Amino acid sequence: MKRFFRLSVLTCVTILGVMIFSSPIVFAQDEGFVSEDASGNDPREFSSKFMPYYRYTELENDLEVNEFTLFGFFAFNPRFGMTYEWAVAKEVDYSDVDEFKQFQAGGGGGGGGLPPIGPNPGGGGGLPLNDLEDDGDVVGMGDLGLRFFLRPKQLEWSFMEGKKNFSLMPLVEFTVPTATKDVLGGETFVVSPGVVIVFDLPFEKPPFGLALFAMMNFYDFDAWKDKRRDNVSRFRGRWFYLQPLSKPAFVDNPEDKSFHIFDLSGLYLMPEMQPVYDFEEDEFSFWIAPEVGKILRDGTVFYAKPGWGVDNGEDGDREFTFEVGFRYFM
């Protein structure tokens, strides 16, 4: 039954893809609603950006991950775009995991395994202990994520005399198993159809008049996997609230191309929440991360993002994360 369900979803995704690529919507040049967000966080803002980041992750079982990821958005046109996300340098250190230390102390005997690393596709882990390297520290490249967004004109509505917008955006994400070491990726081709719901707050004046909500909702399932890997059937949400805190310097002076590093212009706050429900394990997890960023100049943004797991009890759940990165509009 589960195999039939996954096949049905994959068929629906394939049909949707054919419809998208055969539709004139994809090749439309009508930009429609134009976002005024200068931080690069509004999903409705389809412009090409380069957004690399570094992230540290610590799990509930003391496993640690360090990764540097090439991340970016490529706009095919104002209504169709793609993100790419590839951990080109990734370290997974499981030397402090109790089960691994007990396994090593027992001379490599016994069973058990390393749980998957977090809820995101391609996170790594999820292997028997006897398949892991003895030193407990593995370095290489991770899996590749590709995400395709469509912004149909038929699914966006304006309100408050055209000043505000509500949009529904279908998307599909593919996680491709490109990791150079088994523990660094999922050895699973994951397909994640979803929808993005984005809307402006119904206020005229700052600060709330500049804020927006964006809710990305995915259903992850495995289209192909190595036989050692668990089945994937999971709801995964990524919900954001974007609140500008101060006006970027270039708003009052469009000719200003200098970097504004040590002043209070261009600040914003963007908390992210990730509710995840794993249908296979009947487990719920929750993670929250308040991103604080600064628009240094028009098209250049720096941010820092600490994150915490909330009341998560599984060994593979995230306990703490810290991310720093920048966005450059191309």
Global pTM reads 0.89
- pLDDT of 104 above 90: no
pLDDT category at 38 given cuts 50, 70, 90 is confident
Task: Give me the mean pLDDT over the 73-78 stretch.
Answer: 94
Looking at the 3D structure of the chain, how many domains does it have? 1
- pLDDT of 15 above 70: no
Collapsing DSSP to helix, strand or coil, 144 comes out as: strand
Task: Give me the mean pLDDT over the 310-327 stretch.
Answer: 94
Identity (one letter) of the amino acid at 120? N
Record the tokens describing residue 186, joined without a space.
């999922």
**Nearest 10 degrees: CA dihedral of 195, 196, 197, 198?**
-160
Burial of 2 (0-12, 13-18, 19+ CB in 10 A): exposed
Q: Residue 214 sits in which domain range? A: 2-329
* Concatenated DSSP letters of 205-264: STTGGG-EEEEEEEEEEEEEE-TTSPP-EEEEEEEEEEEE-S--HHHH-TT--S---SSS
pLDDT value for 137: 96
At residue 101, what are phi and psi to the nearest 5 degrees?
A: -65, -40
How far apart, in whole angstroms, are the C-alpha atoms of residue 38 and residue 45? 9
Record the tokens describing residue 142, joined without a space.
């991770």
- Residue 112, by phi and psi: left (phi above 0), alpha (psi -120 to 50) or beta? left
User: Which residues neighbour 2 within 8 Å (Cβ) at sequence distance 6 or greater?
Assistant: 231, 233
Collapsing DSSP to helix, strand or coil, 142 comes out as: coil
CB 90 within 8 A of CB 139: yes
Record the tokens describing residue 82, joined without a space.
């793609």
At residue 80, what are phi and psi to the nearest 5 degrees?
A: -145, 125
Cα separation values, 167 from 39, 196, 228, 252, Å: 19, 8, 40, 29
How far apart, in whole angstroms, are the C-alpha atoms of residue 125 and residue 323? 20
- pLDDT of 120 above 90: yes
- Residue 173, by phi and psi: left (phi above 0), alpha (psi -120 to 50) or beta? beta
Query: In CATH, what number is assigned to the domain containing residue 8?
Result: 2.40.160.40
| Number of CB atoms found within 10 A of residue 208's CB | 13
Cα 22 to the chain's mean position, in Å? 27
Task: Give me the mean pLDDT over the 242-257 stretch.
Answer: 93
Record the tokens describing residue 52, joined without a space.
């690399």
Q: Higher confidence at residue 314 or residue 307?
A: 307
For 164-221, how does the pLDDT look when each residue is reduced to its tens digit (9 = 90+)?
999 999 999 999 999 999 999 999 999 999 999 999 999 999 899 999 999 999 999 9
